[in-house]
Structure formats: structure tokens, C-alpha cells
């Protein structure tokens, strides 16, 4: 079984559309994250949830909204997509609230906005 799974793996969409990326972890972890990796491969944290509570919210446009229906799921919804949103988005999870140790990452979702 995949520890952290994201869907879809690839997403191609037009500017202005709204799209969602889903993430699920079966590790029993309390904390989940969303990261963005741009074309230069630089990895930046976007959000973190602990037991459905938002605990990290980096400077991200309001068009990005995370949703955590339960602690095993953290979805990312993006409104009014822009060309600059094209990137690879990674979901991750870790056991502790403020621990980055041994975070498990998903395979990534490559988003292309045309």
C-alpha cells in the first residue's frame, strides 16, 4: 500500500479554471502538508494541518485553499488558475505536530496551466 497517495498524478488545465488535488495518508499520522516545487526544483512549504487544524499557512495566494475532512486527508483546491501556478505539488505527512522528522511524501502532482 502507498503511504501517501495523491491524485491526479498529472493535471493539465486552462487558465481561469478551478481544480482540486487530493491527498490521503494511511500512516496514522497527525500532520499533513502541501509543498510546491517550481521549475527550478526549489521546494517550498505551503500549508500544514494537524488533526484537521491549520497550523502553517505560508504566504500563498487566497486562490489556494486547503481542506482537511479528516486527519488522513488533505486536499488542495485552486481557484482561477494562472500560468504561474504550473509546478509539481507534493503532499506529505509526519507523526508529530511540529516535527519535520521522517516526513513521508507523495509522488507529486504535476500541474500544467495553459
Partner 1 sequence: DAKTTQPNSMESNEEEPVHLPCNHSTISGTDYIHWYRQLPSQGPEYVIHGLTSNVNNRMASLAIAEDRKSSTLILHRATLRDAAVYYCILYYSGGSNYKLTFGKGTLLTVNP
Interacting residues toward partner 1 by CB under 8 A: 4, 40-45, 55-56, 90, 92, 98-108
Instruction: Tell me the closest approach of the beta carbon of residue 2 to partner 1, in angstroms.
Output: 11
Instruction: Tell me the closest approach of the beta carbon of residue 16 to partner 1, in angstroms.
Output: 29
Among 75, 56, 52, smallest CA distance to 65 is for 75
Sheet (strand 4-7) strand order: 4-7, 19-25, 73-78, 64-70
CA distance 4 to 55: 20
Cβ closer to partner 1: 65 or 107? 107
CB atoms within 10 A of CB 39: 8
Cβ closer to partner 1: 12 or 43? 43
Instruction: Tell me the closest approach of the beta carbon of residue 110 to partner 1, in angstroms.
Output: 9
Cβ closer to partner 1: 6 or 68? 6
Instruction: Tell me the closest approach of the beta carbon of residue 9 to partner 1, in angstroms.
Output: 10
CA distance 64 to 89: 12
Whats the size of the chain, residue-wise? 114
Cβ closer to partner 1: 17 or 51? 51
Amino acid at each position: 500500500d502507498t503511504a501517501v497517495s495523491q491524485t491526479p498524478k498529472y493535471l493539465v488545465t486552462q487558465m481561469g479554471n478551478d481544480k482540486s488535488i487530493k491527498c490521503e495518508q494511511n500512516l496514522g499520522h497527525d500532520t499533513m502538508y502541501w509543498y510546491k516545487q517550481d521549475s527550478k526544483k526549489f521546494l517550498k512549504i505551503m500549508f500544514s494541518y494537524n488533526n484537521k487544524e491549520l497550523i502553517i499557512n505560508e504566504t500563498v495566494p487566497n486562490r489556494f485553499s486547503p481542506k482537511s475532512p479528516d486527519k488522513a486527508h488533505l486536499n488542495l483546491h485552486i481557484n482561477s488558475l494562472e500560468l504561474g501556478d504550473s509546478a509539481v505539488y507534493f503532499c506529505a505527512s509526519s507523526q508529530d505536530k511540529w516535527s519535520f522528522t521522517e516526513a513521508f511524501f507523495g509522488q507529486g502532482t504535476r500541474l500544467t496551466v495553459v
